[in-house]
Amino acid sequence: MFSFNHFNFNVLDLEKSLKFYDEALGLKPIREKNAEDGSFKLVFLGDEKTDFRLELTWLRDRKDPYNLGDLEYHLAMTAGDFEAAHELHKTMNVICYENEKMGIYFINDPDGYWIEIIPQK
């Protein structure tokens, strides 16, 4: 039997990403792992409600933005107050796509990953 544990995004600017995930989604660092030689840092973020974690991986020697290509994957999050979340993300200017017919929208993180925002049912 398996259960979800975490999902990973590689990030270019860890501090910028941590700020984004805190301000946009309320995700907080739960734990981190640092390479002894400083070559990488892993920071696991949590929502304080579920056991699922988002792992942010920062690589010291990475200087160029990640090429996400035509990847169609995304992380999805449920908003308890969808209207307030939409207003916050609109103010932050991070909404990259809205599907009003489906009642969802997507935001971009600093590295270009898409995060779907779904209303609570």
Catalytic positions, written as ranges: 116
Q: Where are the alpha helices (DSSP H) in 1-121?
A: 14-25, 82-92
Instruction: Give the whole-angstrom CA distance, residue 30 versus residue 28.
Output: 6
Find out whether 40 and 57 touch, Cβ atoms under 8 Å. yes
The 10 Å Cβ neighbour count of residue 42 is: 16
